Structure 1
């Protein structure tokens, strides 16, 4: 925890504070809803759209896109990560959403969208704290960033329309449009992805990687959190009535999220160990499999279903639950390392012992 910045360390507290501020604004500024709806781009309020783009851009500017060339170096690592992220993860969230939120279709859809948005951001923090493989994490983050642009829309169509139809379950709604999800992904992931890529390429070309990562990124990084908190304030200002009248719904959204994060981490760690990966790489696979890109999930939910939708609320609850749970899983990873990976030199305790010798 000491290695995390002050802002990152207290992220759950900032999210709770932003929620509280949003609820107060919604209660004491009744005209805020009308004002936000009067400034729109398509179906999204302009202030919220700005907040979404601001929180996505710094995350994607951190990615080392040139590391994707190393992907072919470890086919077990890449193959396992892709299966866990794009096959197992969405399927697990789909099952949990239907089991726990059968009677709440909007929240259920919101959770499924969270499951489709694979982690590209804070996994780098959790991976570092658990002494995972930094270069492997960079590769997987870069792959997920690019892959989501092409895969998210297709997976949304499969899990929100095709699969429920096959299973005889009701689809999301009569107004649901797969194209709306594709457009949201292209706007809220495609634009900041291109901006982040160009920023890194041009920044490193002008000043070098050391300057870019040690001088520029520390100044840019906090803006992702500022954008997230700004968006949460506006969302809760608009959703205040629904939240205060039905607080138990938030609890119901939180339960499957808790199960999901813990289950995906366990599957990732054990599957990696069974595949013969080291502790460092297994930890990286586990965190990339269990974390989610809640920024993208919120953006897609808002762009597709609206800022006051239950889908958007489910997306907002995501980071509130994910952050403390994955911090806890860092300690779990460090604790089980010596037990699951005997004689592995990448286990943190053994690294320390060897350094002392």
Structure 2
């Protein structure tokens, strides 16, 4: 691990402070960059996400995707946490903290809207950023890509019914344009670019050339991650300073939900005997959120200035720092994880990292 990577937490903190400061001092510039979007998908952020995830996607050999069936336990755990636990646990946390414990500290007229935003956020599993978290935890790339693709397919049919059920609505309006554009920008296009790069490098220089390229791209990926953080906090700098108490209070159930669901997925994978290189991305996928879809759905249902929209934005703001903390946890507990009886007793999985 390089010195830059070792102090990543420090750089993240500095980027948060820098983003808030720049967002306030150069508010018109950040509003202009923030307006460069279609269907709530911001194109400058999308380009930065490409720079983050393409290095991991270059590692993927499509001929080896069939090996993912060996990881069926990890897939089962992730699907269970994403769809049977996460939206419902967030609903309970929202009602407990926002609807009861923090109620006297928040605007009464927005309480239900805040809870709705939290539920919408939890009902949309992450798509793009998961590749970054998986890469930082040495996750199995074929498992990660397959799991993200499977979640995207399930989201098409499950997102609306789950949100409608938990919000007590007969139906909700799904921002299909945002969903389709995000999947295309964050999955389809980067995968195509990565595979073109991979094949051309292997043809010209073989696997050693590919490894050299990946080593070169790793710092680029981290710089793009930090730049994204500056933009995200810059976009909301005025909101953060205008209502800091509300943002902190909304962050509490989101933080608990992230650690609860990632911990649950991690422990279930250990109990099932899944390899750490699968359990790590499984835990991270189980906890993170597809914030573009969540923000778009909240705005379409409740309006741009609603509490629901603000709650989903808080999810955006804490996504990077909190998921980096989960990455640190799964990395630092790898030795403990692999001492598990089920893990030691199982045979090595195809594609398992060493």
1:120 aligns with one of 108, 115, 130: 130
Q: Which moved more, 1:83-92 or 1:315-324?
A: 83-92
Distance 1:196 1:211, change over 3 A: farther
Deviation (angstroms), 1:6: 4.3
Distance 1:9 1:55, change over 3 A: farther
Say if 2:140 is the partner of 1:150.
no
Per the normalisation by structure 1, the TM-score is 0.72
Work out the number of aligned pairs and report it. 320
Distance 1:212 1:53, change over 3 A: farther
CA–CA distance in structure 2, aligned partners of residues 114 and 65 of structure 1: 31
What are the Cα deviations for residues 82-124 of structure 1, in whole angstroms up to 9, with x where unaligned?
Answer: 3334433444334334433342634752564256324732443
Aligned-pair Cα RMSD in Å: 3.8
CA–CA distance in structure 1, aligned partners of residues 286 and 74 of structure 2: 20
1:341 — aligned with what?
341
Say if 2:59 is the partner of 1:26.
no
CA–CA distance in structure 1, aligned partners of residues 240 and 330 of structure 2: 29
2:38 aligns with one of 39, 42, 49: 42
1:330 — aligned with what?
331
The answer to whether the 8 A contact 1:65-1:197 is kept is no
CA–CA distance in structure 2, aligned partners of residues 30 and 68 of structure 1: 45
Residue correspondence of structure 1 range 280-319 to structure 2 within 5 A: 281=275, 283-292=276-285, 297-301=290-294, 303-304=296-297, 305=299, 309-310=309-310, 311-319=312-320
Structure 1: runs of 5+ lacking an equivalent: 129-133, 348-357
1:70 aligns with one of 67, 72, 75: 67
CA–CA distance in structure 2, aligned partners of residues 219 and 104 of structure 1: 48
CA–CA distance in structure 1, aligned partners of residues 264 and 200 of structure 2: 43
1:164 — aligned with what?
167
CA–CA distance in structure 2, aligned partners of residues 115 and 213 of structure 1: 37
Per the normalisation by structure 2, the TM-score is 0.73
CA–CA distance in structure 1, aligned partners of residues 221 and 229 of structure 2: 12
CA–CA distance in structure 2, aligned partners of residues 16 and 307 of structure 1: 28
Say if 2:241 is the partner of 1:244.
yes
CA–CA distance in structure 1, aligned partners of residues 112 and 9 of structure 2: 25
The answer to whether the 8 A contact 1:101-1:107 is kept is yes
Deviation (angstroms), 1:30: 4.5
1:201 aligns with one of 174, 178, 195: 195
What are the Cα deviations for residues 181-224 of structure 1, in whole angstroms up to 9, with x where unaligned?
Answer: x3223223322322222233222322226256413333334444
1:188 — aligned with what?
182
CA–CA distance in structure 1, aligned partners of residues 71 and 344 of structure 2: 18
Structure 2: runs of 5+ lacking an equivalent: 100-110, 348-354
